[in-house]
């Protein structure tokens, strides 16, 4: 996406450089998501705006002299909804989204390991879940060799064990 | 300026403990600057829990060091790999990489380090002199001024970026809305808590920031990284020759000034000033065609300016309590955690912190100069560490860190939710930065607005008739309508060209 405007004479160089920078960054990025992504983004914002407005109306608007708890969130929600509508109208052609590809599975798996760690930590302490997280991230998400995975995982967890429990004296739930 | 307080600040900084935290901060900053991926805002977010367990002054000194240290580190990857480690070093890529290809990578890095040091030092001097004056002036601000100023800060950060302005403003407004979750401080009414006891106290800023910035970026990087190994070019003769120094001295001088001025403006910051400094050099050069082909000024100017700007962006935070960019919003949050509300009273109430932080920058930059000239080889070697090895370590720091704040697994889940939101926002082209910033400032805007309405007896025109808040709001309207006005003008000009240019190309600031 480049700057198609005919550059005004006084801002030529800065505009040129900015277009060049934008172009440079563009090369590094995965393919854009297309209009559907833009519409979904705008619709989510619209729903939040409308929902926020309805809820905050219920909290009580008060008067201008004595604004109630709902007035400020109501004003903000309406602003969100209006801007979301504007985005629906003008934003369909934007190219700033990124397509979900096969590699989007990686962050999904990463997210699951976060949740598992959060669930297991209070039950069996942080050591084993942390070790599992390291193994999954290194071996399966990062493509490291088994040797490097095992060494890095054990060293990392051991380092955290001593850092938190002895260095910072923060009582993390721990098994050992 | 209170000279005694200033000198006390120095003796505080030279305490071994604070020197150590300053060193750790700039080291981490330099490290994450070198490693593509996590930016300074995300790193500060991830490390916020530390502020609960160490001395406040040390904590802020360390977090500040991360921010300006990252500016130094970002240069290294720009020059050696053509990969800007930080957004503020993007423009350095053009001439820096060209110089590296000519075998002059060392010279480029050396000049960049010297320029960075000069720019930052000039800027700290400016900060030392100007900050107390602004703070003194701002002591007269009342609620209406603060509400207007915070709102302007949110808007400027949202509109002066590289992304789409409408989207940034939506993100900012969502941040304002998010700030209202919990018990209303005026009426005690619960808002958006959905019956949850944990949400009654509001959403913790640290948890939001660690989620949106930390987890969001970690997940995003997991996807973007395709296991590319980085093989940096070899570097030699890091010490620039006298000729190089002479050639870049003008650029360094101008870059310092441009950086200082643009850094003070909310939303201006390091990125904008590096572009402006580069453009200035190209404009006044007798041989503009050299730029992009290895002109040393093309490295000196932006690198000087981004460091000067990184430093001067502390001015609005320390004097007005308004963070100028996402990293400053993190420091703002850190100060709030420590029970210190940044604002004009800071210099009077906590001179130790005010001068401690400012003076730590003199020393931090000296450390950075040493790290980036004689020790640059070590950091270049760090580029060979595979990102896959660092990813689980940052992930663990984040999860275990957020747990330690309240010993609460609920916080981990809130953080994960915001991490997912942050990741999805990036995928559909919304920057989380304005959202976090607005979240931090949300309660200032709301409380200021409501107290002002009481003062004005329900008459909203009061905001406009008070001179200072009126001026600020006039600026607000100007900034808000500027992109739309420009888009219409541009559309008229290029009515024949289809499709009409999207307004996201407007990277011009109204401050020029």
Q: Are B111 and B241 in contact (CB under 8 A)?
A: no
Q: Does B377 touch chain A (CB under 8 A)?
A: no
Full 3-state SS string of B34-53: HCCCCCHHHHHHHHHHHHHC
Q: Are B254 and B280 in contact (CB under 8 A)?
A: yes
Q: Does B495 touch chain A (CB under 8 A)?
A: no
What is the structure's pLDDT at A3?
Answer: 40
Chain A residues 137-176 within an 8 A CB cutoff of chain B: 137-138, 141-144, 148, 152-153, 156, 160, 164, 168, 170-172
Whose CA is closest to B330, among B43, B99, B11?
B43
Q: Does B239 touch chain A (CB under 8 A)?
A: no
Whose CA is closest to A85, among A134, A141, A41, A42?
A42
CA-based nearest distance B235→chain A, Å: 24
Q: Does B279 touch chain A (CB under 8 A)?
A: yes
A121, B162: Cβ pair inside 8 Å? no
**Chain A residues touching B393 at Cβ < 8 A:** 156
| 3 state SS of B344 | coil
Instruction: Give A157 or B189, the one with higher predicted confidence.
Output: A157
Specify which residues B183 forms β-bridges with.
B190
At residue B511, does pLDDT exceed 50?
no
What is the structure's pLDDT at B211?
Answer: 92
What is the structure's pLDDT at A24?
Answer: 61
B276, A14: Cβ pair inside 8 Å? yes
B409, A121: Cβ pair inside 8 Å? yes
Which of A33-47, B160-174, B490-504: highest mean pLDDT? A33-47
**Domain co-membership, A72 together with A123:** no
What is the distance of C-alpha A32 from the center of its chain?
Answer: 17
A3 belongs to a structural domain? no
What is the structure's pLDDT at B509?
Answer: 38
The one-digit pLDDT tens for each residue of chain A (176 residues) are 344 444 444 456 666 666 766 666 655 667 777 888 899 999 999 999 999 999 999 988 888 888 888 999 999 999 999 999 999 998 888 888 888 888 888 999 999 999 999 999 999 989 999 999 999 999 988 888 999 999 999 999 999 998 888 877 777 888 88
**Domain co-membership, A107 together with A158:** yes
The model's pTM? 0.84
Number of domains in chain A: 2
Which of B272-281, B377-386, B412-421: highest mean pLDDT? B412-421
**Domain co-membership, A51 together with A79:** yes
Whose CA is closest to A145, among B270, B289, B388, B243?
B388
**Domain co-membership, A109 together with A148:** yes
What is the structure's pLDDT at A124?
Answer: 92
A153 belongs to a structural domain? yes
Q: Are B312 and B259 in contact (CB under 8 A)?
A: yes
At residue B130, does pLDDT exceed 80?
yes
User: Please, what is the average pLDDT of chain B?
Assistant: 84
Which of residues A90, A116, A135 is at a domain's end? A90
**Domain co-membership, A112 together with A149:** yes
Task: Determine what percent of chain B is predicted with pLDDT higher than 90.
Answer: 25
What is the structure's pLDDT at B1?
Answer: 61
Torsion over CA: B104, B110, B115, B116 (sign):
positive
Which of residues A66, A90, A114 is at a domain's end? A90
A78 belongs to a structural domain? yes
Whose CA is closest to B358, among B88, B75, B135?
B135
What is the structure's pLDDT at A1?
Answer: 38
Residue of chain B whose alpha carbon sits nearest to that of A173: B407
- Domain holding A82, by residue range, is 35-90
**Domain co-membership, A74 together with A115:** no
Closest to B223 (Cβ–Cβ): which among A69, A107, A114?
A107
Joined together, the tokens standing for residue A58 give 């219920």
**Chain A residues touching B220 at Cβ < 8 A:** 107
Q: Does B393 touch chain A (CB under 8 A)?
A: yes
Residue of chain A whose alpha carbon sits nearest to that of B218: A107
**Domain co-membership, A163 together with A112:** yes
Q: Does A68 touch chain B (CB under 8 A)?
A: yes
**Domain co-membership, A81 together with A109:** no
Query: In the predicted model, what is the mean pLDDT of residues B476-492?
Result: 76
Query: In the predicted model, what is the mean pLDDT of residues B339-360?
Result: 88
Chain A residues 86-145 within an 8 A CB cutoff of chain B: 86-87, 90-91, 93-94, 96-98, 100-101, 103-104, 106-107, 110-111, 113-115, 117-119, 121-122, 126, 130, 133-134, 137-138, 141-144
Neighbours of B342 (CB within 10 A): 24
Q: Are B315 and B107 in contact (CB under 8 A)?
A: no
Q: Does A63 touch chain B (CB under 8 A)?
A: yes
What is the structure's pLDDT at B195?
Answer: 82
Rounded to whole angstroms, how far apart are CA atoms B274 and B299?
10
Which of residues A43, A58, A90 is at a domain's end? A90
Residue of chain A whose alpha carbon sits nearest to that of B284: A13
A113 belongs to a structural domain? yes
- Which residues are CB-contacts of B422 (< 8 A; sequence separation ≥ 6)? B211, B212, B213, B215, B216, B217, B219, B220, B432
Residue of chain A whose alpha carbon sits nearest to that of B162: A22
A13 belongs to a structural domain? no
pLDDT level of residue B20 (50, 70, 90 thresholds): very high
What is the structure's pLDDT at B5?
Answer: 84
What is the structure's pLDDT at B507?
Answer: 39
Query: In the predicted model, what is the mean pLDDT of residues B287-298?
Result: 86
Rounded to whole angstroms, how far apart are CA atoms A175 and A172?
10
Q: Which residue has the tokens 């609960």?
A: B52
H helical segments located in B139-265: 143-159, 165-178, 205-209, 216-224, 242-264
Full 3-state SS string of B253-290: HHHHHHHHHHHHCCCCHHHHHHHHHHHHHHHHCCCHHH
Neighbours of B271 (CB within 10 A): 25
At residue B225, does pLDDT exceed 70?
no
What is the structure's pLDDT at B221?
Answer: 86
Interface confidence, given as ipTM, is: 0.86
**Domain co-membership, A80 together with A109:** no
CA-based nearest distance B6→chain A, Å: 32
**Domain co-membership, A114 together with A135:** yes
Question: How big, in percent rounded to 5, are the helix, strand and coil portions of chain A?
Answer: 70, 0, 30
Query: In the predicted model, what is the mean pLDDT of residues B77-98?
Result: 80
Rounded to whole angstroms, how far apart are CA atoms B379 and B81?
13
B174, A170: Cβ pair inside 8 Å? no
**Domain co-membership, A127 together with A150:** yes
Range of lowest pLDDT (B216-220, B268-272, B306-310, B472-476): B268-272
Q: Are A103 and B226 in contact (CB under 8 A)?
A: yes
A97 belongs to a structural domain? no
pLDDT level of residue B232 (50, 70, 90 thresholds): low
Cis peptide before B499 (omega within 30 of 0): yes
Rounded to whole angstroms, how far apart are CA atoms B51 and B62?
10
A154 belongs to a structural domain? yes
**Domain co-membership, A114 together with A161:** yes
């Amino acid at each position: 996406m480049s700057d198609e405007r005919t550059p005004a004479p006084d801002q030529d160089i800065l505009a040129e450089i900015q277009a060049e920078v934008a172009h440079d960054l563009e090369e590094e990025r995965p393919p854009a998501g297309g209009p559907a992504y833009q519409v979904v983004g705008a619709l989510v914002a619209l729903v939040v705006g409308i929902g926020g407005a309805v809820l905050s109306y219920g909290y009580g608007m008060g008067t201008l002299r004595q604004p109630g708890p709902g007035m400020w969130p109501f004003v903000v929600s309406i602003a969100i909804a209006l801007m979301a509508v504007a985005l629906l109208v003008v934003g369909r052609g934007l190219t700033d989204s990124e397509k979900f590809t096969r590699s989007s599975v990686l962050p999904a798996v990463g997210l699951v390991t976060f949740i598992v760690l959060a669930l297991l930590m209070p039950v069996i302490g942080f050591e084993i879940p942390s070790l599992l997280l390291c193994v999954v991230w290194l071996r399966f998400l990062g493509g490291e060799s088994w040797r490097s995975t095992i060494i890095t995982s054990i060293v990392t967890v051991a380092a955290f064990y001593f850092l938190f429990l002895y260095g910072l004296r923060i009582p993390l739930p721990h098994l050992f | 300026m209170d000279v005694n307080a200033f000198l006390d600040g120095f003796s505080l900084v030279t305490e071994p403990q604070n020197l150590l935290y300053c060193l750790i901060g700039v080291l981490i900053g330099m490290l994450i600057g070198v490693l593509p991926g996590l930016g300074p805002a995300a790193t500060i977010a991830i490390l916020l829990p530390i502020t609960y367990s160490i001395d406040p002054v040390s904590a802020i000194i360390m977090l500040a060091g991360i921010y300006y240290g990252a500016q130094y580190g970002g240069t290294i990857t720009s020059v050696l790999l053509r990969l800007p480690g930080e957004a503020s070093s993007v423009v350095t890529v053009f001439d820096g990489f060209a110089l590296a290809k000519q075998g002059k990578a060392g010279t480029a890095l050396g000049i960049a380090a010297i320029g960075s040091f000069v720019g930052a030092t000039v800027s700290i001097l400016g900060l030392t002199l100007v900050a107390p004056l602004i703070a003194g002036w701002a002591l007269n601000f009342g609620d209406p001024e603060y509400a207007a100023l915070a709102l302007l800060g949110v808007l400027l950060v949202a509109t002066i970026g590289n992304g789409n302005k409408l989207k940034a403003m939506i993100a900012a407004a969502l941040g304002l809305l998010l700030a209202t979750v919990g018990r209303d401080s005026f009426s005690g009414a619960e808002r958006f808590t959905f019956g949850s006891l944990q949400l009654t106290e509001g959403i913790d800023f640290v948890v939001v920031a660690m989620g949106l910035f930390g987890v969001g970026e970690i997940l995003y990087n997991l996807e973007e990284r395709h296991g590319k190994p980085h093989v940096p070019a070899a570097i030699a003769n890091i010490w620039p020759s006298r000729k190089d120094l002479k050639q870049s001295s003008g650029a360094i001088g101008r870059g310092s000034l441009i950086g200082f001025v643009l850094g003070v403006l909310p939303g201006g910051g390091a990125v904008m000033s590096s572009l402006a400094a580069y453009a200035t050099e190209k404009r006044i050069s007798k041989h503009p065609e050299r730029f992009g082909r290895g002109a040393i000024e093309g490295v000196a100017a932006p690198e000087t300016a981004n460091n000067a700007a990184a430093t001067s962006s502390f001015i609005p935070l320390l004097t007005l309590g308004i963070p100028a960019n996402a990293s400053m919003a993190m420091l703002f949050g850190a100060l709030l955690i420590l029970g210190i509300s940044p604002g004009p009273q800071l210099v009077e109430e906590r001179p130790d912190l005010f001068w401690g932080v400012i003076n730590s920058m003199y020393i931090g930059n000296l450390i950075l100069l040493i790290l980036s000239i004689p020790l640059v080889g070590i950091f270049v070697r760090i580029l060979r560490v595979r990102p896959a090895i660092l990813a689980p370590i940052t992930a663990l720091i984040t999860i275990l860190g957020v747990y330690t704040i309240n010993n609460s697994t609920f916080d981990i889940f809130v953080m994960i939710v915001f991490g997912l939101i942050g990741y999805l926002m990036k995928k559909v082209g919304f920057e989380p930065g304005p959202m976090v910033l607005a979240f931090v400032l949300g309660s200032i805007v709301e409380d200021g607005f409501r107290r002002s309405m009481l003062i004005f007896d329900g008459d909203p025109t009061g905001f406009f008739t008070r001179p200072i808040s009126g001026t600020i709001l006039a600026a607000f309207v100007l900034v808000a309508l500027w992109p739309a006005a420009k888009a219409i003008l541009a559309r008229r000009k290029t009515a024949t060209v289809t499709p009409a240019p999207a307004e996201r190309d407007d990277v011009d600031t109204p401050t020029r």
